[in-house]
Amino acid sequence: MKPLEIKELYRSGDKHYNQKVKINGWIRTSRASNAFGFIELNDGTFFKNVQIVLESDKLDNFKDITKLPISSSITVEGELIPTPESKQPFEIKAENIIVEGLSSADYPLQKKRHSFEYLRTIAHLRPRSNAFSAVFRIRSMAAFAIHKFFQEKGFVYTHTPIITGSDAEGAGEMFRVSTLDILNPPKTENDKVDFSEDFFGKETNLTVSGQLEGEAYALAFQKIYTFGPTFRAENSNTARHASEFWMIEPEIAFADLKDDMQLAEDMLKYVIKYLLENAPEEMEFFNSFIDKGLIERLTNIVNSEFAHVTYTEAIELLEKSDKKFDYPVKWGIDLQTEHERYITEELFKKPVFVTDYPKEIKAFYMRLNEDGKTVAAMDCLVPGVGEIIGGSQREERLDVLEGRIEELGLHKEDYWWYLELRKFGGTKHAGFGLGFERLIMYVTGMSNIRDVIPFPRTPKSADF
Amino acid sequence: MKPLEIKELYRSGDKHYNQKVKINGWIRTSRASNAFGFIELNDGTFFKNVQIVLESDKLDNFKDITKLPISSSITVEGELIPTPESKQPFEIKAENIIVEGLSSADYPLQKKRHSFEYLRTIAHLRPRSNAFSAVFRIRSMAAFAIHKFFQEKGFVYTHTPIITGSDAEGAGEMFRVSTLDILNPPKTENDKVDFSEDFFGKETNLTVSGQLEGEAYALAFQKIYTFGPTFRAENSNTARHASEFWMIEPEIAFADLKDDMQLAEDMLKYVIKYLLENAPEEMEFFNSFIDKGLIERLTNIVNSEFAHVTYTEAIELLEKSDKKFDYPVKWGIDLQTEHERYITEELFKKPVFVTDYPKEIKAFYMRLNEDGKTVAAMDCLVPGVGEIIGGSQREERLDVLEGRIEELGLHKEDYWWYLELRKFGGTKHAGFGLGFERLIMYVTGMSNIRDVIPFPRTPKSADF
């Protein structure tokens, strides 16, 4: 007899009512008297458990089974009985139970509530808890929704390199990747490290962004996206920063900032809709236990037209408001989270694209506007989080781009191939970056990035 | 007027016949007389080009357009005319052409044939060539097919860590990840490098496999898969090895080696079928220009039942054969590619699972068979390549696993959480690894791994 999955029971269990079924799973909870016992069994395929009913006169090993420690794995055969008067739609009257793997009395995930901090120390076991089984199934489904969205639109998924020999990304501090003997590295004549002897024949680091390579592919395939790990060697121990995180970076050719924003809006709505439709149990759990109002907020996003405001207008609105900010507002500042949340939560009460930022606070590759002061950049702000997406139209004019590179004291040689993209049939193009973990925090209501990454890497922490 | 995509024209062009259309694209080739001109235009959305017909009396800028260098980007408006007598199904009679971005006469991808070696030096431009536009679209579609296969079966996509602080994976040489000053690293009292001062507070490396973490998640979700970059710091400059490559590692609980092989067979067939159905133009191109017989070989795989043979039987078959091998055959050897290819290509003439290898040549975590000599491992061999997948049932018995760890001189402490998975309700479970680039080489016929990775990383090479 082939085991059924609990997901199958919940999604079309009535097909199996009053029939003999077989399921596998891990014991989540267990209680028993002399004659009866109940096990909540979870097999990992679904958020909910199945109740197994044990009767001493039906099971030879009744006593042994009722004594099994939490998290023991078993195989159950029995009849699937509908239970219309109960909370759960059905239960299984066990006729035969085989122990697959014993757990132990010192299993750390006992029924009592544990803090998320504690659960991080048992990252190998926490996906067996309700909260983390929901988080990591949502993470998986959101990743797939993103692939599905882009593939259905004909985007080419591009694996940009993780190890980079280029110094040109300029988006943050980097981790060095090396096989040199750190106690005794080869030296050049002037006593520097001789990286020509390193594995790749030069100094290499972990990537902070696949954008530049993504642009090369967008100028061949028109529409591409990346989805891979990126790294920041920044010593910031906050609830929103990890040293290793996944990023999605679409890039579109023959497209301007407006197309870029439309793409970002469509993508966010698609992913949220996908989760609300395909993971109702998990979303209901987050709505009840992690973030009340989550489902309403997300549903609003799916149904609203995102607002648009220029940076200059946003600054005016902030200056006019009665709100007291910790960081004073004036044209030229980088918007802080308090400003961003005020704009999206109080002024517009929905997602907002802020566009056309001062060039001084944005990257060299963003397209210079006619005014010579601002660039065609956009940040997407959402209620409850602030910035979730940042993007821009890219500077496609070779002379302007070279001018910006010089202005910022960067070296044209480092960008030879990036500049060639403008020389050999460049077109207007645009793209954005979405931090995947930020998205997961947003759609689950989880407030610490460490709790949406299976095995998080942060300063002083790389366990498991 | 909104631009149409060339893919849309080819897939349902008749909807637009004899109507005015607008398309964007890059000039692939161009030729002209005084009165007429022809441009092959590609917009990146499809493998094939559209022919643009230029007539001097219809286009004000006829002369300028005919002189545009290859790879210039243009926007064309004109009538879509069916051409039933020609090779291509339709052409566009241009009425208006706007130049989006000029290319230059020194554009390196001129019409003549280039060697793949040369094209690697212009990795930012090579996706604009026929061969590489086909390779990298196939790569994208194959990645999606893998996600689709696993998600439809309810597998949870798990992002296992890239940076690992564990020494326990043991599958190859590793790259160190560090932010220490390599010229002046902090030292311990006994003059070793003091990695407690490093970014993560310990020595860290790039992962060689997500399997161990994957097992933790399989023992919560029953069915998981990873799909991410992995790294080998091995100085092997072959056509089949890269220092950075992507790997798929599914892991299934309540499952044995037989289930594992069935999963691998189903997955391979699914991906190949997906590509044959969804990328017929690209597959036809590979079949004609890269690897004659490819489509027949792949179709055979979809339609055949994979064979099964134990390692011991395979050795006997090899010993009995008349074939002369470079590496002599006897029980205990690791099978070489020549052996593997002989088995799959000549003995079975289809994919073969070889199972139950001597424990000495396999990893510590593979489940020991009853005979005490072999482990429940499997390699999947396919014609034309040899090994494409390697997997095993995992040792779920705590005492046996601990015994193997000691036998091999490994340290139990390094595996504390991995061992705990066996202590807290372990079950039989199994998994395998598929090198994504190997798969892409296999389905395209491309023979060098450098030509199926957008920006490959190999010893002494990390350009772009």
Q: pLDDT for A319-346, tens place per residue?
A: 999 999 999 999 999 999 999 999 999 9
Cβ of B139 within 8 Å of Cβ of A125? The answer is no
Predicted pLDDT at A155: 98
Q: Cα B244 vs. chain centroid, distance in angstroms?
A: 11
Predicted pLDDT at A168: 63
Nearest to A162 among B244, B423, B461 (CB): B244
Q: What residue ranges of chain B have pLDDT lower than 50?
A: none
Cβ of A182 within 8 Å of Cβ of B183? The answer is no
Nearest to A462 among B141, B165, B420 (CB): B165
Task: Please report which helix (H) or strand (E) contains residue B144, including its range.
Answer: helix B130-152
- Which phi and psi (to 5°) does residue A146 adopt? -65, -45
Shortest Cα–Cα distance, A350 to chain B (Å): 29
**Which chain B residues are closer than 8 Å to A422 by Cβ?**
101
- Which phi and psi (to 5°) does residue B437 adopt? -65, -35
Nearest to B4 by CA among B46, B37, B39, B60: B46
Confidence check: pLDDT of A207 > 70: yes
Q: Give, as one character, the DSSP assignment of residue B461.
A: B
Distance CA B202, CA A462 (A): 8
**Which chain A residues are closer than 8 Å to B136 by Cβ?**
156, 158, 217, 221
Predicted pLDDT at A238: 92
The Cα-based distances of A386 to A344, A345, A354, B355 in angstroms read 7, 9, 11, 54
Task: Please report which helix (H) or strand (E) contains residue B225, including its range.
Answer: strand B223-231
Nearest to A274 by CA among A150, A159, A156, A89: A150
CB A315 within 8 A of CB A329: yes
Cβ of B133 within 8 Å of Cβ of A73? The answer is no
Predicted pLDDT at B169: 59
Nearest to A42 by CA among A28, A60, A22: A28
Task: Please report which helix (H) or strand (E) contains residue A79, including its range.
Answer: strand A73-82
Q: How many CA atoms lie within 13 A of A348 on its CB side?
A: 28
Return all residues near B103 (Cβ < 8 A) that are at least 6 apart: A423, A424, A425, B27, B68, B69, B70, B71, B72, B73
DSSP alpha helix (H) spans, A395-435: 398-407, 416-423
Confidence check: pLDDT of A435 > 80: yes
Residue of B nearest to A75 (CA): B254
Task: Using a pLDDT cut of 90, give the percent of chain A over it.
Answer: 92
Return all residues near B269 (Cβ < 8 A) that are at least 6 apart: B301, B302
- Per-residue pLDDT band for A171 (boundaries 50, 70, 90) equals low
Confidence check: pLDDT of A379 > 90: yes
Predicted pLDDT at B112: 76
Tokens at A279, concatenated: 């993971």
The Cα-based distances of B136 to A295, B123, B295, B337 in angstroms read 38, 12, 18, 27
Confidence check: pLDDT of A307 > 80: yes
- Per-residue pLDDT band for A169 (boundaries 50, 70, 90) equals low
Distance CA B217, CA B228 (A): 15
Tokens at B414, concatenated: 């390094």
Cβ of A73 within 8 Å of Cβ of B254? The answer is yes
Q: Got the DSSP string for A122-147? A: TTTTGGGSHHHHHHHHHHHHHHHHHH
Nearest to A127 among B107, B220, B457 (CB): B220
Nearest to A427 among B73, B178, B417 (CB): B73
Nearest to A223 by CA among A168, A262, A271: A262
Cβ of A156 within 8 Å of Cβ of B136? The answer is yes
Average pLDDT, chain A: 95
Give Dmax (Cα) for chain A.
Answer: 86
Shortest Cα–Cα distance, B165 to chain A (Å): 5
Q: Does the complex come out with an ipTM higher than 0.95? A: yes
**Which chain A residues are closer than 8 Å to B219 by Cβ?**
26, 128
Predicted pLDDT at A448: 96
The Cα-based distances of A452 to A4, A229, A436, A444, B125 in angstroms read 29, 14, 10, 9, 37
Structure confidence by residue, pLDDT tens digits, A230-256:
999 999 899 999 999 999 999 999 999
Task: State the first-to-last Cα distance of chain B, in angstroms, to the nearest integer.
Answer: 37
- Per-residue pLDDT band for A170 (boundaries 50, 70, 90) equals low
